Structure 1
Amino acid sequence: MKNKIIAVFAVLVCVAYGGAYAFGIDLGAVVAPHVAGLSALAAFSLVGEVKSVDDVAKLLEKIGDQVKEQGEKALAEAKKSGDMNTETKAKVDELLVKQGELQAQLLEVQQKQARRGGGEDAGGTKSAGQQLIESESLKERLADGWSKSSKVSIGMKAITSQVGSAGQGVVPDRAAGVQMLPQRRMTVRDLLSPGNTSSNLYQYLQETGFTNAAATTGEGIRKPQSDIAFELKNANVVKIPHYIKASTEILSDFPALQSIVDEKLNYGLMLAEEAQLLKGSGVGNNLKGVYTQASDYAAPLVIANATRIDVLRLALLQAELAEYPSTGIVLHPADWTAIELLKDDNGAYIFANPQSLAQPGLWGRPVVTTQAMTFDQFLVGAFRLGAQVFDRQQATITIATENEDDFLTNLVTILAEERLALAVYRPEAFVKGDMTPA
Structure 2
Amino acid sequence: MPFTADDVQNELKHIQNKLSESIQAVNEEVKKHGEIGTKNKEALNTLEEKIKEATARVLELEQAGTSQSDVDNAIKSVGAEFTDSQAYTDFSAGNTTKATFAAENNAVTNDEAATYTDRRSGVLGLAMRKLRVLDVLPKGSTSSNSIEYTREVLWDNKAAETAEGPGAAYPESSIQFETTTVPVRNIGHFIYVSKQMLEDNQAIASYIDGRLRYGVEYRKDLQALRGNGTGQNLKGIFSSGSFTNATNAGQNIYETVRRAMAQVELADYSATAIILNPSDCADMDLLTGNDEHFISTNPRAQNVKTLWGLPVVETNAMPAGRFLTGAFDMASQWTERRGVVVEMSDADGDNFTKDMVTIKATARAALEIYRPISLVGGDITAAPSTP
Q: TM-score range by the shorter chain?
A: 0.5 to 0.7
- CA separation in 2, counterparts of 1:379 and 1:398? 36
- Which amino acid in the other structure matches residue 175 of structure 1? R
Please list the CA deviations of residues 227-284 of structure 1 after superposition, one character each: whole Å capped at 9, or x if unmatched.
Answer: 0011111111000011111111111111222211110000100111111000000111
Q: Percent identity?
A: 37
Counterpart for residue 220 of structure 2: 273
Residue 272 of structure 2 corresponds to residue 319 of structure 1: no
Task: Report the residue type matching 1:251 in the other structure.
Answer: L
Alignment partners' CA distance in 2, 1:396 and 1:298: 40
CA contact (8 A) 2:270 2:326 kept: yes
Pairwise CA RMSD: 2.2
* Residues in 1 aligned to 2:263 and 2:379: alpha-carbon distance in whole angstroms: 14
**Structure 1 residues 33-83: Cα deviation after superposition (integer angstroms, max 9, x where no partner):** xxxxxxxxxxxxxxxxxxxxxxxxxxxxxxxxxxxxxxxxxxxxxxxxxxx
After TM superposition, give the deviation of residue 299 of structure 1 in Å: 3.2
What's the counterpart of residue 348 of structure 1?
293
Counterpart position of 1:123: none
Question: Aligned equivalents of 2:293 and 2:382: distance in 1?
Answer: 24
Q: Secondary structure at 2:368's aligned position in 1?
A: strand
Gaps of 5+ in 2: 1-62, 66-108
1:182 correspondence with 2:112:
no
Matches within 5 A, 1:129-140: none
Q: How does 1:56-67 map onto structure 2 within 5 Å? A: none
Does 1:225 pair with 2:172? Answer: yes
CA distance in 2, matches of 1:167, 1:174: 16
| Alpha-carbon distance in 1 for matches of 2:157, 2:120 | 70
2:240 is matched by which residue type in structure 1? Q
1:215 — aligned with what? 160
Q: Is the contact between residue 297 and residue 303 of structure 2 (CA under 8 Å) also seen in structure 1?
A: no
Match of 1:395 in 2: 340
d(CA) in 1 for partners of 2:199 and 2:374? 52
- Matched to 2:212, the amino acid is L
Partner residue, 1:405? 350
Are the counterparts in 1 of residues 159 and 171 from structure 2 also a CA contact under 8 Å?
yes
Matches within 5 A, 1:9-20: none
Q: Deviations over 1:278-303 (max 9, x none)?
A: 00001111111012212123439x6x
**CA distance in structure 1 between the partners assigned to 2:171 and 2:265 by the alignment:** 28
- State whether residues 156 and 174 of structure 2, in contact with CA within 8 Å, keep that contact through their aligned partners in structure 1: yes
- What's the CA shift for 1:355? 1.1
- Is residue 360 of structure 2 the alignment partner of residue 415 of structure 1? yes
| Larger Cα-atom Rg | 1
- Give the corresponding residue for 2:193: 246
Could you tell me which of 195, 201, 206 is aligned with 2:146?
201
Give the Cα–Cα distance (whole angstroms) in 1 for the partners of residues 314 and 254 of structure 2. 15
Distance 1:168 1:237 in 2: 58
Corresponding position of 2:241: 294
Q: Look up the match of 1:53.
A: none
> Is the 8 Å Cα contact of residues 191 and 383 (structure 1) preserved in structure 2?
yes
Gaps of 5+ in 1: 1-101, 106-159, 161-165
Give 2:327's match in structure 1, choosing from 369, 382, 389: 382
Aligned 8 A contact 1:298 1:318 in 2: no
2:319 is paired with a residue of what secondary structure?
coil
Amino acid at match of 1:388: Q
> How many residues in Structure 1 have an aligned counterpart in Structure 2?
276
> What is the identity, as a one-letter code, of the residue corresponding to 2:225?
L
Mean Cα displacement is larger for which, 290-299 or 182-191?
290-299
CA contact (8 A) 2:188 2:216 kept: yes
Q: Tell which has more relative contact order, 1 or 2 (C-alpha 8 A, sep 6+).
A: 2
SS in 1 for 2:176: strand
Q: 1:338 aligns with which of 261, 273, 283?
A: 283
Counterpart CA distance in 2 for 1:399 and 1:373 is: 33
* SS of residue matched to 1:296: coil
Question: Following the alignment from structure 1 to structure 2, what is the Cα–Cα distance between the partners of residues 437 and 381?
Answer: 21
Measured after TM superposition, the shift of residue 169 of structure 1 is 3.6
Structure 2 CA distance for aligned equivalents of residues 298 and 209 of structure 1: 23
User: 1: distance between equivalents of 2:293 and 2:253?
Assistant: 18
Q: Which residue of 1 aligns with 2:310?
A: 365
TM-superposed CA distance for 1:324, in Å, is 1.3
Deviation at 1:425, TM superposition (A): 0.5
